Amino acid sequence: MKVLLTIIALLSSIVVNGQSNSDLYQASHSNISTQTTSGKLALNDEKEETYAITITVTHIRNTKGVIRFKFYDDSTPFPDDLGFLRVVIPKTEMTGDSLRVTYSGFTSKNMAIALLDDENDNWELDMGWFLPKEGHAFSDYYHSALRRPVYEDFSFMLEGDKKVKMKMKYY
């Protein structure tokens, strides 16, 4: 029984520590010129070459609520930081059980993307008895381990335009 409770507590902390945040910014997905955690604009210096990231989210279980993305890099690593960019997308933009968005203006760097399926749009990760009621996903990584994901699990080096797949996980 202790082992089961430990595993459940560990799984709960995965999403609670990595996804919940009541200070997200709502933004259009048409560009990334939005306020970030540092108060700077996300668009980069015009002297540097910039790239686009196209994100495809699959297996979204319903059309209620919104999808909340958080973008991380080496200076704002998951889960200890709020990320350098946070974006909210309404699920009305879904096609079937999927959502595709493209953001541009990123310079070459190591980065990662996490998301929360905030089904009731309350800016919080809702919990059941021990596990999250809402889903989460990570860039090109489907979390199935009985441990908290770490930044290295789902980070990637952005060196050109990138396509990222994110498969939703629900408990």
pLDDT in tens, 96-113: 999 999 999 999 999 999
- How far, CA to CA in Å, does 2 sit from each of 127, 142, 145, 146? 20, 27, 19, 15
pLDDT above 50 for 155: yes
Pairwise pLDDT comparison (51 vs 82), residue with the higher score: 51
Overall pTM > 0.85: no
61 confidence band (pLDDT: 50, 70, 90): very high
Name the token pair of 61. 């279980």
